[in-house]
Structure 1
Amino acid sequence: MSVGGGRKGRVQPEMNVTPLVDVVLVLLIIFMILAPIITQAFAVRLPPKDDDKQEELDQANDPNQPLVLTVTDEQTFEVNGVTIDEPELSVRLHRMFNARPDNVIYIDGEDDAAVGTVLHGVDLARQGGASPVVFLTKKLQ
């Protein structure tokens, strides 16, 4: 601040920008040092790819054919004839629905399949993004 030289001897405030410039330059130097460190790549370990099963699923996921989830009497799940383990079912269905224009799934419970197992398959299909879920009363041709 300067005293005097103003109108009627008033104090005129002047901003001291030197500390502001110092702080900005220090931040600039910090970001210049950290930028190469932040952009470095890190190693990711991916699980091994199950080529055979994935190829079967890709062939079974023809967008022109309906997606049919079959619940067998041995409490296993099949999607268009390809057997899928229970823990993987919702994840695989989610991937299959991403490649399709609709999220319709048809549930086909075998005659000897337990009702609880079929309903569990419906829950897994809903977790995978199926909407609507349609129960089959006759076999699709």
Structure 2
Amino acid sequence: MAMAGGSDDGSPMMEMNMTPLIDVLLVLLIMFIITIPVATHAINIDLPAPDPNSNPPEVDPITNKIVLTPDNQILWNGESITQGGLVSNLQQSMAFAVEPELQFEPEANASYDLSAQVLTLIKASGVTKFGFVGNEKYRQFGSGA
């Protein structure tokens, strides 16, 4: 008696049965999806507490300038501060009735990582009057001058 699926002449079957393989792959895919934790895109920065004995630099009600130096210093209106001091100064500047302008000027060899951290702090503070200054120094970039 002949089978409906093909001839039964005793020769080996040449096609592989893919159904069990697909079932195993689907089970593995579901297991990986369940076990992967939900990705959270947050930057956690432990900021140091400001030193109560130090005198923080004054916050100008008109214009404040942040300069980043190549030796990883943050200068607020020419005075060196920590990241905690920067956060404090930004909060003070937001307390004015008219928000003062904040100017950001990283020096040529300043750390990109420090620049990214400072920009994250500035963005988190809610400052709206913000600008990059000092770009005219790099007008001749690449000319070999």
- TM-score, normalised to structure 1's length? 0.51
Counterpart pick for 2:70 among 54, 69, 73: 73
- Number of equivalent positions: 87
Over 4 Å off, 4+ runs: none
Q: Which amino acid aligns with 1:89?
A: L
Counterpart of 2:130 in structure 1 is: 133
Tell me by how many angstroms 1:119 deviates. Answer: 2.1
Secondary structure of 1:53's counterpart equals coil
Counterpart pick for 1:104 among 101, 104, 129: 101
Question: 2:79 & 2:136 partners in 1: Cα distance?
Answer: 20
Counterpart of 1:113 in structure 2 is: 110
Question: 2:110 & 2:127 partners in 1: Cα distance?
Answer: 21
Question: 2:95 & 2:116 partners in 1: Cα distance?
Answer: 23
Identity %: 17
Question: 2:69 & 2:109 partners in 1: Cα distance?
Answer: 8
Secondary structure of 1:106's counterpart equals strand
Given that residues 66 and 77 in structure 2 are in contact (C-alpha distance below 8 angstroms), is that contact kept between their aligned partners in structure 1? yes
Given that residues 103 and 130 in structure 1 are in contact (C-alpha distance below 8 angstroms), is that contact kept between their aligned partners in structure 2? no
Question: 1:72 & 1:48 partners in 2: Cα distance?
Answer: 21
Kindly indicate which of the two structures has a greater share of residues assigned to helix.
1
Secondary structure of 2:88's counterpart equals helix
1:1-141 map, 5 Å: 49-50=52-53, 53-54=55-56, 57-58=57-58, 61-64=59-62, 66-99=63-96, 101-136=98-133, 137-138=135-136
Tell me by how many angstroms 1:71 deviates. Answer: 1.0
Counterpart of 1:26 in structure 2 is: none
Structure 2 gaps of 5+ residues are: 1-49, 138-145
Structure 1 gaps of 5+ residues are: 1-46
